[in-house]
Amino acid sequence: MKQTSEKTNVMRVLDQKKITYKSYTYAATEAVSGMEVAQTLGQNPDQVFKTLVTRSGSGSYYVYLVPVNRELNLKKAAKAVGEKSIEMIKSKELLPLIGYVHGGCSPIGMKKQFKTVIDRSALSFETILFSGGKIGYQVEVSLDDLKKIVRFELEDISD
């Protein structure tokens, strides 16, 4: 587990808002599973979250954060945002839509801020870890501090 000195856009946003965070790097040039990230960093997989981007049947986009050792429940996720159905968007749609690549999606610093829902299990921890906006980078932030940058709701959205 290595703390990093190189800054990603996510870290610059956190710095601008004077938010305390920890940053970590791991060796990867392409997306790796969230479980691999948690193991590499020696972190509890319940506390490491993956950022998932979806589209609803009505054409709206939503962002979900779920622990890396769990799956997004599409029915629960749709209900949480008042939609009939949602589906994951294709990896190639990520960069033009949100400015991040698969494996480097972060709820902080997206081109456009979409409604964001974090799995309620995050309340079990003082901080959660998620992508620092680039493959190989993670940041650790408290929910209270994250709330200063990203508007989100907490719901039961994973299995």
What domains, with CATH codes, occur in the chain? 2-155 (3.90.960.10)
Helix (H) or strand (E) holding 34: helix 34-41
User: Please, how many CA atoms are within 13 Å of residue 74, restricted to the half-sphere of its CB?
Assistant: 11
Q: Which residues are 52's β-sheet partners?
A: 64
Angle formed at CA 70 by CA 8 and CA 9, multiple of 5 degrees: 10
CA 83/CA 103 separation, integer angstroms: 26
Tokens of 154: 């907490």
User: For residue range 98-124, what is the model confidence (pLDDT) as tens digits?
Assistant: 999 999 999 999 999 999 999 999 999
User: For residue range 17-49, what is the model confidence (pLDDT) as tens digits?
Assistant: 999 999 999 998 888 999 999 999 999 999 999
pTM of the model: 0.94
